[in-house]
Amino acid sequence: MKTTALCIAAAVALAGAYFVPAQERSDVERKDSRSDFMERKLKCGQKLLADLSRRDLRSVQEDADQLERICADLQWNVLQTQEYLERSATFRRTIAALSTAARDDRFDRARLEYVDLVGQCFACHEYMRDRKK
């Protein structure tokens, strides 16, 4: 009984830490969380490149869908500026187009959408760095 109570207490504490509003977390926690999030996006992009290199369109579609789910995460919305929101919307449309091209067995189109996606990543990261200056 005591073990069950400890497990429940630990689960509640972990859940509470997870659901603390972002503004109440320390800057270090937010940065670590954002770094982890960016790492997940990067790994997904790397998987897409590997999938395309193998011409594995089924995996391209699955990984594009995974990236789409990552983009739906609240951590995705780092800024609320009009430009950032437009960039984000364009990125999501490109992911959807990549997934559709893969589903429709259009390798050349999927490859072009991926290249466009990577270019958008570079442009957005440049935008974010310029905002810090």
Residue 6 counted as domain residue? no
DSSP string, the chain: -HHHHHHHHHHHHHHHHHTS-GGGS-HHHHHHHHHHHHHHHHHHHHHHHHHHHTT-HHHHHHHHHHHHHHHHSGGG-----HHHHHHHHHHHHHHHHHHHHHHTT-HHHHHHHHHHHHHHHHHHHHHHHHHH-
Residue 13 counted as domain residue? no
Residue 21 counted as domain residue? no
pTM summary value: 0.72
Residue-number span of the structural domain to which 125 is assigned: 27-132
Average pLDDT over residues 120-128: 92
Residue 112 counted as domain residue? yes
Residue 49 counted as domain residue? yes
Q: CB of 39 within 8 A of CB of 101?
A: no
Rounded to the nearest 10 degrees, the angle between the axes of helix 107-132 and helix 27-53 is 160
Residue 36 counted as domain residue? yes
**Cβ neighbours of 50 (radius 10 Å):** 13
Residue 85 counted as domain residue? yes
Q: According to the model, what pLDDT value does residue 10 have? A: 37
Q: According to the model, what pLDDT value does residue 34 have? A: 72
Total structural domains in the chain?
A: 1
pLDDT in tens, 70-108: 888 766 777 888 999 899 999 999 999 999 999 999 999
Q: According to the model, what pLDDT value does residue 97 have? A: 98
Average pLDDT over residues 102-115: 98
Residue 14 counted as domain residue? no
Q: Report the CATH number that the domain containing residue 61 is assigned in CATH.
A: 1.20.120.10
pLDDT in tens, 16-73: 433 344 444 444 444 557 788 889 999 999 999 999 999 999 999 999 999 999 888 7
Average pLDDT over residues 3-27: 41
